[in-house]
Chain A
Amino acid sequence: MHDDELTASEREALRALPREASPSDLLEERTLQALVGRGLVRSRRRLPGAMAWMGAVAACLVFFVAGFGVGMRRAERPADESTFSPSATEGLAEQRPGSTLTQGAGEQTQPAAGEHRGLPAGAAMDTAGGLALTSTPANQKQRTQVVVWF
């Protein structure tokens, strides 16, 4: 009935046609989102991202509160307690009365990074780090304490 068969070359030409073609990359994402929308596939991007952000915010809050607490505790410590780190830079110098000259002398050690000590009364606090100067009245032997922190 149907004698219109393919010739060998026709059959070969048709069978040789490519069986694959690459669709656009957008199609993959589009298809995935459609499946996610139907609840058939779980997207691994959405949930971990939200959780990661929440975790980061929580970690920041914890570090902030902890750092604030440490800073407040250190600021409240009296100056003559043995909280002075031996690594702090400190010097004592005797001066003539009236002089506010300061100089560092004696043992000097570098404070640990980020460490600072409570200052003696009358000292000015430089939050950026620096020298704190004190002077005693002229009728007293002057002792000038130099505290350096970083």
Chain B
Amino acid sequence: MNPQPGIPSSDRELAEAVLRGGEERAFRALYRRHSPRVYQLALRLLGGDVREAEDVTQETWLRAIGGLERFRWEAAFGTWLGRIAVHVAKDALRRRGRGREDLWDPELEFETTEPIPAHSAAERLATRIDLERAIALLPDGYRAVLVLHDVEGWPHQSIASELDISVGTSKSQLHRARRSLRALLVPAAEEPA
């Protein structure tokens, strides 16, 4: 099937066109539909590193298109793509020089330094920027769990499966991530004089 511009095609139809005919237009349609979400997820998991996020996004598509034949359409294409992105991001985090044990080490404590001054609640945009900055400052392991659970809504079972950790580790990492995040976002009024 040849997708026509302006005529919406389902993910499955587009994927079939890529798989059977290697159609460039079908790929571009899939890419433009799903890349913004994949890229944002990668960017947040990697603490705002644009270059690494782009590398993760590209690698995600390479693995997805290369594995299209094995995809059984039991989940939504976007969900499947997101899981691949998390897997690729996890590998990228590990390549940053830390071993597996360090990333989700239960003994690892994050010592917060200077909290980010919070703006008033009325300045929603500024609050959101502060929150993004605070998330980016978290250790890689804390950040990954917090982003997947509290931002993306993943259950601990899925997080543990994708990050190759236990459910207990996922929960404890989330607890510490939230505590660290709050410390980074101490409101200006509560800062010590």
Considering only CB atoms, which chain A residue lies closest to B124 in the complex?
A16
The minimal Cβ–Cβ distance linking A32 to chain B, given in whole angstroms, is 7
A10-38 with Cβ < 8 A to chain B: 10-11, 13-24, 27-28, 30-32, 34-35, 38
A contacts with B, residue count (CB < 8 A): 32
The minimal Cβ–Cβ distance linking B58 to chain A, given in whole angstroms, is 5
Chain B binding surface, main DSSP class? helix
The minimal Cβ–Cβ distance linking B76 to chain A, given in whole angstroms, is 14
* Complex alpha-carbon distance, A122 and B36, angstroms: 81
Of the candidate stretches B27-35, B83-91, B95-103, the one touching chain A is B27-35
Contact yes or no, A20 B27, CB < 8 A: no
Contact yes or no, B32 A44, CB < 8 A: no
With A4-B178, A31-B57 already in contact, 15 other A-B pairs whose C-beta atoms are closer than 8 Å? A14-B150, A15-B153, A17-B132, A22-B39, A27-B35, A30-B54, A30-B58, A32-B27, A35-B27, A35-B62, A38-B62, A40-B66, A41-B23, A41-B27, A44-B25
Contact check: which of B25, B37, B58, B172 meets A31 at CB < 8 Å?
B58
- B114: Cβ under 8 A from any A Cβ: no
Contact yes or no, B58 A20, CB < 8 A: no
- B175: Cβ under 8 A from any A Cβ: yes
Q: List 20 A-B contacts (CB under 8 A).
A: A2-B175, A4-B179, A11-B150, A13-B128, A17-B132, A17-B151, A19-B40, A20-B39, A23-B36, A23-B39, A27-B57, A28-B32, A34-B58, A35-B61, A35-B65, A39-B22, A40-B18, A41-B22, A41-B27, A42-B24
The minimal Cβ–Cβ distance linking B134 to chain A, given in whole angstroms, is 11
Would A23 and B35 be within 8 Å (CB), given that A17-B128, A17-B151 are in contact? yes
Contact yes or no, B28 A28, CB < 8 A: yes
- B43: Cβ under 8 A from any A Cβ: yes
Contact yes or no, B24 A41, CB < 8 A: yes
The minimal Cβ–Cβ distance linking B189 to chain A, given in whole angstroms, is 16
- A43: Cβ under 8 A from any B Cβ: yes
Query: Chain B residues near A14 (CB, 8 Å)?
Result: 131, 150-151
Query: Chain B residues near A15 (CB, 8 Å)?
Result: 150-151, 153
Contact yes or no, B65 A40, CB < 8 A: yes
Query: Chain A residues near B43 (CB, 8 Å)?
Result: 21
- A57: Cβ under 8 A from any B Cβ: no
The minimal Cβ–Cβ distance linking B12 to chain A, given in whole angstroms, is 17
- B127: Cβ under 8 A from any A Cβ: yes
- A128: Cβ under 8 A from any B Cβ: no
- A6: Cβ under 8 A from any B Cβ: yes
Would A31 and B61 be within 8 Å (CB), given that A13-B127, A21-B43 are in contact? yes
Q: Mark A34-63, 1 if CB is under 8 A from B, else 0.
A: 110011111110000000000000000000
- B119: Cβ under 8 A from any A Cβ: no
Contact yes or no, B132 A42, CB < 8 A: no
Q: Mark A55-76, 1 if CB is under 8 A from B, else 0.
A: 0000000000000000000000
